Amino acid sequence: MNLRIMRETIEIQLGGVVSVAEFYAALRRVVGRCNIEGEKQETMVILTDGANSETVIGEDETVIGEDDRIIGEGRWASGFIWDSLNFALALPRKYAKVLSVFQEGIKMQAVPYDKLQDSGASDLYYTHVSNHLYFNSDMDSSSATLRLRARVDYTMPTAGTGEYDGMPDFAESMITNGVIAALYSQPKHYDEAMLSLHRAQFNEDLRSFNYGIIIRNSHTQQTRYMDY
pLDDT tens, residue by residue, 8-58: 999 999 999 999 999 999 999 999 999 999 999 888 888 886 666 777 776
What pLDDT is recorded for position 72?
45
- Low-confidence residues of the chain, pLDDT below 50? 67, 70-72, 222-228
What pLDDT is recorded for position 225?
42
pTM for this one? Answer: 0.78
> String of b and e for 184-199 (b: at least 16 CB within 10 Å)?
bbeeebeeeebbeebb
What are the extents of the domains in the chain? 3-40+158-223, 42-152
Are 123 and 20 in contact by the 8 Å Cβ rule? The answer is: no
What pLDDT is recorded for position 87?
96
Question: Exposed, middle or buried: residue 51 (CB in 10 Å: 0-12, 13-18, 19+)?
Answer: middle
What pLDDT is recorded for position 71?
46
Where helices occur in the chain by DSSP H, the ranges are: 3-14, 20-37, 113-118, 172-184, 192-223
Helix count and strand count (H, E) for the chain: 5, 11
What pLDDT is recorded for position 74?
73
What pLDDT is recorded for position 42?
87
Going by C-alpha positions, the residue among 209, 197, 175 that lies closest to residue 23 is 175
What pLDDT is recorded for position 46?
87
Using DSSP bridges, classify how beta strands 132-135 and 53-56 pair: parallel, antiparallel or unpaired.
unpaired
Question: Whole-angstrom Cα distance, residue 145 to residue 200?
Answer: 46
Are 46 and 39 in contact by the 8 Å Cβ rule? The answer is: no
What pLDDT is recorded for position 89?
95
What pLDDT is recorded for position 63?
62
